[in-house]
Structure 1
């Protein structure tokens, strides 16, 4: 039976060891985590931060040994999308997942550490991946579980995406006329309107993909 583990690891054991702690409010999240080629891994990185934090963050990226090259492809108030080229050490961690037929479901970095959510075919393979980080530094396992039903009722949403969707629903954001604006909802999360909208859009994208694209075609109308 497949198993999913959620744990935090120090940034120096994975990526951005010299960049994640430039500002405590800075949060990074990989846009897509499916890697089909070891030469093109996790190419896009969303960064949410105050506007004055991006310059020191990019200066840190330029000297970060886990990064070979980077380019800001999109810029919004409080958020930017970067195209990343990683060093071999980061690729080696991804290799470890792929070699054991695993998938990184979520990777979010903040304040010098990463929170990873990884799925493997069984506990032994997950244990081998976990052991890699234990040898590299501090690691904290927060949750270990196996799906008890299709999609486990989460539709592969991250906790932040789920919270954003629930807040939007409760506030009447999806009603016509809207009961709340994205700006008002963003204030409740302490992030920019653009960052909240991106989080909401990625959550909706995952819901549609999981419920409609990969869901049961006879599940209803």
Structure 2
């Protein structure tokens, strides 16, 4: 049975770079082996502190060299060559022996968060063993049967975005007045407030595009909706029948 898995890795890769630019979000675009056996990471860095991030790349002991590929003032694509030692702490493709499909990897000040599909738990155990043998702390954040992801996929949401949106809804983040701050919400999800903010923005964008925007196409002029903002809309925009999610936080490899 194919599993959707979300894990955190306490790898030092790019830790200094992110610490120098706390407002920058770092997302992995591609991980490839180089000729000398070390890893090349192609990453997107987005935010207002990209100058500080580049200073961090210069000082980062896990990076042997880097180059700016392109982008805008607030979102840039970089290619980084890791040191051999650093490469051994983030080689999750190798630990899974090529049997897992990795969907995303994000770096915040504390850790890497990696998501992917695993054919079964034996591959997940192999990855956990690879982490242990390379001195990387491994935390299992979530394991889900892929059948459960279909509700999220119909709204173009990742499972993490769905989870974050429902947690925010249940905790009162969208209530008036607001019942929880972004920092408190981040603490409950065990991620940075920058990561939560990005998940919420992307999740709401996907949700609106797949529901409200899709229904407006070919219907009536959007100005009509602005003139009648409360027509046929509940107090919070929609009602969730069951917002309970099973989310084991901080489970170690022994739980696999």
**Which TM-score band applies after superposition, normalised by the shorter structure?**
0.5 to 0.7
C-alpha displacement of 1:169: 4.7
Give the Cα separation in 2 of the matches to 1:29 and 1:144.
21
Q: Tell me how many residue pairs correspond in the alignment.
A: 173
CA RMSD of aligned residues (A): 3.4
C-alpha displacement of 1:68: 2.1
Q: Which residue of 2 aligns with 1:148?
A: 147
Q: Which residue of 2 aligns with 1:104?
A: 102
Give the Cα separation in 1 of the matches to 2:78 and 2:27.
11
Does 1:114 find its partner at 2:112? yes
Give the Cα separation in 2 of the matches to 1:49 and 1:11.
22
Give the Cα separation in 1 of the matches to 2:103 and 2:140.
15
Report SS of the residue matched to 2:15: coil
Give the Cα separation in 1 of the matches to 2:141 and 2:86.
23
Q: Which residue of 2 aligns with 1:56?
A: 52
Give the Cα separation in 1 of the matches to 2:40 and 2:137.
24
What TM-score do you get using the length of structure 2 for normalisation? 0.55
- For the Cα contact (< 8 Å) 1:72–1:81, is it kept in 2? yes
Unaligned runs of 5+ in 2: 162-198, 224-256
Does 1:166 find its partner at 2:207? yes
* Gap change, CA 1:91 and 1:138, over 3 Å in 2: closer
| Pairing of 1:122-137 with structure 2 (within 5 A) | 122-133=120-131, 136-137=135-136
What TM-score do you get using the length of structure 1 for normalisation? 0.62
Q: What are the Cα deviations for residues 125-174 of structure 1, in whole angstroms up to 9, with x where unaligned?
A: 11221244356354432211232279675388543444431144566498
Does 1:88 find its partner at 2:84? yes
- For the Cα contact (< 8 Å) 1:11–1:20, is it kept in 2? no
Q: Which residue of 2 aligns with 1:4?
A: 4
* Gap change, CA 1:74 and 1:21, over 3 Å in 2: same
Q: What are the Cα deviations for residues 32-90 of structure 1, in whole angstroms up to 9, with x where unaligned?
A: 46x5x56595642110111xx22221121123232222111113132111122223345
Q: What are the Cα deviations for residues 96-127 of structure 1, in whole angstroms up to 9, with x where unaligned?
A: 24525222211011123111113222101112
- For the Cα contact (< 8 Å) 1:172–1:178, is it kept in 2? no
Report SS of the residue matched to 1:112: coil
- For the Cα contact (< 8 Å) 2:68–2:79, is it kept in 1? yes
* Gap change, CA 1:175 and 1:134, over 3 Å in 2: farther
